Chain A
Amino acid sequence: SYDLTQPLSMSVALGQTAIITCEANNIGSESVHWYQQKPGQAPVLVIYRDTNRPSGIPERFSGSNSGNTATLTIGRAQAGDEADYYCHVWDGRTGFFGGGTTLTVL
């Protein structure tokens, strides 16, 4: 079982870098995925298996995972990056989502 902890909200200045964390005991031993969800829309996969970007996702989005913390990094943040971001883990039988982080671009 995983209790994935994300900050409830964070803000980033336009053009700067946002780092969103997802914490759980030994999360580094699992594959972590990240989704972006804008208001009124279904989630969109932005990072899979810790570090991989699906086609169509800008290179500004990157991920890492080690120890007790997985991170989603959004470089050169744009207004269009304002959204909720969720981390996701599958332990082989059950899926888990973090509580989500609302990113505001100032």
Chain B
Amino acid sequence: QVQLVQSGPEAKKPGASVKVSCKTSGYTFTSFDIHWVRQATGQGLEWMGWMNPNTGYTGYAQKFQGRVTMSRNPSINTAYMDLNSLRSDDTAIYYCARRYASWYAFDIWGQGTVITVSS
């Protein structure tokens, strides 16, 4: 079945970088955009950006421009999200999600990756 499996939790210090992976299976990796969404504890969902796994084209929320990089490795059906210059308010659960093309909605989500930023 279609699955997005994310990498495990990370604890980082302020100023560091983190790279989260999102391994896909059960469908053609290059056929559906991957989006990244984060959620701070007790807060709502926040859209971060997206990537076309076929072309590598990316688009980022203005808030994260310059700090986030989304990439992929098609040979292993995996997408990545790099976030640098981490701050304490980056502490959150980070989700990857597949956007079903004709629906324009996120039909499959990863299980989430907890990133904790603390000195």
Contacts from A to B (Cβ < 8 Å): 31, 33, 35, 37, 42-45, 48-49, 52, 54, 84, 86, 88, 90, 93-100
CB 8 Å contact bits of B77-109 with A (1 = contact, 0 = none) = 000000000000000000101001001111101
Contacts from B to A (Cβ < 8 Å): 35, 37, 44-47, 50, 59, 61-62, 95, 97, 100, 103-107, 109-112
Q: Top 6 A-B pairs ranked by shortest CB distance?
A: A95-B47, A48-B105, A33-B105, A42-B109, A100-B44, A97-B45
Contact B107 A54 (CB under 8 A): yes
Q: Which of A48, A93, A94, A97 contacts B104 (CB 8 A)?
A: A48
Interface of B is mostly: strand
| A-B pairs with beta carbons under 8 Å apart, 14 shown | A33-B104, A35-B45, A42-B109, A42-B110, A42-B111, A43-B45, A43-B109, A45-B106, A48-B104, A88-B45, A88-B106, A96-B47, A100-B44, A100-B45
CB-CB under 8 A for A49 and B105, given A42-B111, A94-B59, A94-B61:
yes
In the assembled complex, the Cα of A42 lies from the Cα of B112 at a distance in Å of 7
In the assembled complex, the Cα of A86 lies from the Cα of B112 at a distance in Å of 17
Provide the residues of chain A in CB contact with B100, threshold 8 Å.
Answer: 48
Provide the residues of chain B in CB contact with A42, threshold 8 Å.
Answer: 95, 109-112
CB-CB under 8 A for A31 and B104, given A42-B95, A42-B110, A94-B59:
yes
In the assembled complex, the Cα of A44 lies from the Cα of B45 at a distance in Å of 12
